Amino acid sequence: MDPFLLLLHSVSAGLSSSELTELKFLCQSRVGKRKLERVQSGLDLFSVLLEQNEMSPENTVLLRELLVSLRRQDLLRRLEDFEAGAAGGAAPEERDLRAAFDIICDNVGKDWRKLARHLRVSDAKIEAIEEKYPRNLAEQVRESLRVWKSSRKDDAAVSHLVRALRACRLNLVADLIEEGQRARALQSESGDPVSLSESWDSDSPASGASR
């Protein structure tokens, strides 16, 4: 079976009846009333969203938003595992971007607004992100990066992120991203797996990057 369909089956099986009811409520603006009435499982709902091109293996934004709303970290981890696998088959530039997103989400913290402004994400969009994920800092950071990537389209590049990070004096985060790029390049050239910890002291925290 297709990996994305396997993921959807897994997520559906993990939903309680009350969680399914909440998902149907959250999708009211996207799915017609009659279709929602026929939904008896998470898979039914996902099938409708797939038919309407609301989600796909390449576009997991809505699925992530729904799982965040449910506060199901276990199901979010399954989605992240899928995305990591998909990244493995992506072009090197896309893999580098996804890896950079992960590093930024793990290390930038409350400085994400400053970074977003350096990436020319508007204040209106920053406010919308804060309203969308009021108590989830990691998702605020990730959503701001998605907004930036969407605005740049094919022009989005890791070098832009690194430049913006350094302008914000988040040099350790920028260094982590560049080390990761070098490690992946070495792995690609040699065919041998290269651990990031081999090229970066794993004891060096990035949490103080803004200091």
Give the count of beta carbons closer than 10 Å to the beta carbon of residue 173: 27
**What domains can you pick out in the chain, each with its CATH number?**
3-88 (1.10.533.10), 92-189 (1.10.533.10)
Q: What is the DSSP letter of 56?
A: B
Q: How many helices (H) and strands (E) does the chain have?
A: 13, 0
Predicted local confidence at residue 190, as pLDDT: 63
Q: What is the pLDDT along the chain (211 residues), one digit of tens a residue?
A: 578 888 999 999 999 999 999 999 999 999 999 999 999 999 999 999 999 989 988 888 899 999 999 989 889 888 888 887 765 555 667 778 888 998 998 899 999 999 999 999 999 999 999 998 888 888 899 889 989 988 887 788 899 999 999 999 999 999 999 998 888 778 766 655 444 444 444 444 444 444 4
pTM: 0.57
Q: Please report the pLDDT score of residue 204 as a whole number.
A: 45
Contact 156, 97 (CB under 8 A): yes
CB atoms under 10 Å from CB of 205, counted, come to 10
Round to whole Å and give the CA distance between 134 and 31. 25
pLDDT at 78: 87
Buried/exposed 69-90: b ≥16 CB within 10 Å, e otherwise:
bbebeebbebbeebbeebbeee
